[in-house]
Structure 1
Amino acid sequence: MIRIAQLSDIHFGDENLPAVEAATALLQSDPPDLVLVTGDVTRFAEVGELEAARDWLEQLPRPWLVTPGNHDAPYLAWIERLFAPFSRFERIIGPAWSQSHIDDQLVVAGINTARGAQWRLNWSKGQISRDQVRTAVSILDGAPATHLRLVALHHPLTEMIAGPMTAKVWGGRDAARAFSEAKVDLVLSGHVHAPFALPYPFADERTYAVGCGTLSVRERGVAASFNMIEVDPEAIRVKAMTWSGSQFEAYRTWSLDRRRS
């Protein structure tokens, strides 16, 4: 059994502190095999917010992997946002553009789908390039064929059905197709602040998009939450855990069939 905790959109500066502390305590008491944080660890990428995020990450059981989101580029320092959007993140948290993890059970390729600026009005939306896809597939292909294969990023590559907001990722559909053809098992994301699990409609339809809720006060129809993912040879089970105000409770569980070869 492989156990993965996925947390996202903590938005330090707007964090739901009791929920963050309770989630941290749960993970400390029963550490998973991996903790994945899929972006937007801050509100405006202010130095103090990034330092608070770093201090929180240091409390989580290792190993962990964190990839940035659109809120992790400075919102108020325009020159820095335009020319070095993730320099603060890299100085305080870690690598921004590509991350990876491999152990004896699973392999993860982390991708930055956020941009400091874009040729469209809404810079919060996502982008993924062909080079990023090729790099991720190369990382995954370097692991044994028996490993669980994961991609971690901030923006959902395809839209959540009836979701509270959109990601509108440039290159997203092509990337979802490429990951399906490469037999990726899960593509994990945040951004929409609501949990979901759905198959991509490509290849054998056994590559799944899994979205995570938020641990901030910026809720969008679902209480503060995070995902616990359990994987055995037959299935991948995604359990969204929501904050009741005093404890985390199971909100919804998805059981996803694994591919056979």
Structure 2
Amino acid sequence: MSDSCSDIVHLAHLSDVHLPPPPRIAARDLINKRILSLMLWNARRRHVHLASLGDAVVADIASCKPDVIAVTGDLTNFGLPVEIESGARWLAGLPAPSVIVPGNHDRMTNLPWADGLAQWAPWMAASPGQFPYVRRVGPVCLIGVNSAIASPPFMAYGRVGQRQGERLHAILSRTRGSYRVVLIHHPPRAGLVKPRKSLLDSYKISGILQSAGAEMVLHGHSHDATMTTVPGTDIPLIGVASSSLRSSLPLRQAGWNDFSISPISKGWDVTLIRRQIDAEGRHNVLSEHRWQRHS
């Protein structure tokens, strides 16, 4: 990914797109928890995760002309090869250079990487062993962490693991001086999702971030437009609503995060505009936040 022409970097963040699955799924693919997830999709999720909202989010992002788009997982519903292929076409059609990390739905089963998520290599690491990966856009350093693992039925937890954790610490250490944005699907903080959906090694990842530092952590999974901090630090930990979800709750209605990151003399000036797409497809500003981080 090439550097942006300006020191000011415009970053779009969206997550949990849940692209519509194929109309027919072969019986041989309904293994492990996929059958349960398909039943949930047919009973409820297909009525609230709407492709029209996801399309409106992408159109709104295009109108804002970001330098880069970060997708924090769950592009699919069942992690089927055909869904991952559709996800690759969707990523290729985004209106700016993009990066992605997998979510639990993208890794619903132990499908061999080469048969599935390898199709997303142009937008993330080419293999599990290459996470965390790094993409630079001007002074911003995007660091993609893979927390997606196959889990039992009724569970949606994630794990980063020791090897990735060690690589993350090393990457954060050597990229000091950049505006380091960590991308992860599962939030590294207890209480943002139910325990059965949590990051199992959240405490260890929070410790790495506390030790090596970061300027911001972006996550998905919760379907909530939240703004907290990484435990034990003042590092902003920022979630986003699902980009396709219709909800009566404003913080869960489909939307995306619009960041402007500007270098200043002693660090960084950051503006976050929460943009929302209402049930009628209208674009709204939900909230605006501005802060500075010292280098």
**What range is the shorter-chain TM-score in?**
0.7 to 0.9
Larger Rg belongs to: 2
Distance in structure 2 (CA, Å) of the matches to 1:183 and 1:33:
24
Alignment-derived partner of residue 131 in structure 1: 163
Task: Please give the secondary structure, in 1, of the residue aligned with 2:105.
Answer: helix
Is 1:148 aligned to residue 198 of structure 2? Answer: no
Alpha-carbon distance in structure 1 between the residues aligned to 2:103 and 2:119: 15
State the distance in 1 between where 2:240 and 2:116 align. 21
Aligned to 2:118: 91
- Matched to 1:28, the amino acid is A
Whole-Å separation in 1 of the counterparts to 2:285 and 2:96: 24
CA distance in 1 between counterparts of 2:236 and 2:12 reads 16
Q: What one-letter code is carried by the residue in structure 1 that aligns with 2:16? A: D
How much does 1:219 deviate?
A: 4.8
1:65 deviates by 0.8
Structure 2 unaligned regions, length at least 5: 1-7, 21-45
Q: What is the aligned-residue RMSD (CA, Å)?
A: 2.4
Q: 1:140 and 1:29 mapped to 2: Cα distance?
A: 32
Match of 2:149 among 81, 101, 115: 115
Following superposition, the deviation at residue 129 of structure 1 comes to: 1.6
Higher fraction of helix:
2
Counterpart residue number, 2:198: 168
Q: How many angstroms does 1:255 deviate by? A: 3.0
* Structure 1, gaps ≥5 residues long: 75-80
Q: CA deviation at 1:165?
A: 4.2
Bigger drift between 184-193 and 121-130 goes to: 121-130
Q: CA contact under 8 A between 1:158 and 1:172: conserved in structure 2?
A: yes
The equivalent of 1:186 in structure 2 is: 216
**The residue matched to 2:185 in structure 1 has which SS?**
coil
TM-score normalised to the size of structure 1?
0.83
How many residues are treated as equivalent by the alignment?
A: 246
Q: Is the contact made by 2:181 and 2:215 (CA closer than 8 Å) also made in structure 1?
A: yes
Q: 1:1-261, aligned counterparts within 5 Å?
A: 1-13=8-20, 14=46, 15-74=49-108, 81-82=109-110, 84=112, 86-94=113-121, 95=126, 97=128, 98=131, 99-117=133-151, 122-143=154-175, 145-160=176-191, 163=192, 165-166=194-195, 167-202=197-232, 205-217=233-245, 219=247, 221=249, 222-232=252-262, 233=264, 234-244=268-278, 245-258=280-293, 260-261=294-295
Q: Deviations over 1:29-60 (max 9, x none)?
A: 33212210000000111233222221211111
TM-score, normalised via structure 2 length:
0.75
- 1:84-130, Cα deviation, whole Å (9 max, x unpaired): 3x444323222363232023311121111111136xx6541121223
